[in-house]
Amino acid sequence: MDYESWTKDELIAKLRSLDVKCNEHVKRPPSGSVSPDSTPLADPAPPSDPAPSSDPASPAPPRKRKGRMVDFDFSRFPQRKVAFKFSYLGWPYHGLARQGNSLTSEEKHQIELTYPTVEGALFKALAHCKLITSETTCDYSRCGRTDRGVSGFGQVVAMYVRSTGKFITEEEARVIVDAGQEHLIIRDAQNGGRPVLLPSNEHELTYINMLNKSLPPEIRIHAWSPVAPSFSARFSCKSRFYRYFFPQSGLDIQAMQEAAKRYEGAHDFRNFCRLDPAKQIKNFERIVQSAQITRVSDQVKFVGDGQSEEGVWWQLELRGTAFLWHQVRCMMAVLFAVGQRLETPDVVDHMMDIQMTNGKPEYEMASDLPLVLADCAFDEKDVKWIRVRSPGRDSTNMVVLDRIVSKTWGELNTQAVIASALLQTVRDTQAPMLCERGSMDINYSSWSECRKQLLEADTQTVRVILGGGAIKQAKKYTPIMLRNRAEPVELRNQAWLERKTANKRARTDE
* Rg of the chain taking only CA atoms, in angstroms: 33
| Residue of 15, 14, 43 lying closest to 31 (CA atoms) | 43
Burial class (CB in 10 A: 0-12, 13-18, 19+), 430: exposed
Answer for the pair 140, 133: CB distance below 8 angstroms, yes or no. no
Residues with Cβ within 8 Å of residue 441, at least 6 apart in sequence: 435
How far apart, in whole angstroms, are the C-alpha atoms of residue 331 and residue 244?
11
DSSP 98: P
CA–CA separation, 304 vs 298, rounded Å?
Answer: 10
For residue 482, the Cα-to-chain-centroid distance in whole angstroms is 38
| Contact residues for 65 (Cβ-Cβ < 8 A; gap 6+) | none
Q: 218 and 88 in contact (C-beta within 8 Å)? A: yes
User: Residues with Cβ < 8 Å from 51, sequence gap 6 or more?
Assistant: 45
Give the chain's length.
510
Distance CA 152, CA 373 (A): 5
Residue 241: which of 377, 148, 335, 142 has the closest Cα?
A: 377
Buried b (16+ CB within 10 A) or exposed e, 44-78: eeeeeeeeeeeeeeeeeeeeeeeeeeeeeeeeebb
Instruction: Tell me whether strands 470-474 and 462-467 are parallel, antiparallel or unpaired.
Output: antiparallel
d(CA 367, CA 371): 8
Q: At what angle do helices 396-428 and 207-214 cross, to 10 degrees?
A: 40
Three-state SS sequence of 46-77: CCCCCCCCCCCCCCCCCCCCCCCCCCCCHHHC
Q: Are 242 and 148 in contact (CB under 8 A)?
A: no
Distance of CA 336 to the CA centre of its chain: 26
Three-state SS annotation for 174-222: HHHHHCCCHHHEECCHHHCCCCEECCCHHHCCCHHHHHHHHCCCCEEEE
Angle of helix 396-428 relative to helix 447-457, nearest 10 degrees, comes to 80
By annotation, the residues acting in catalysis are 147
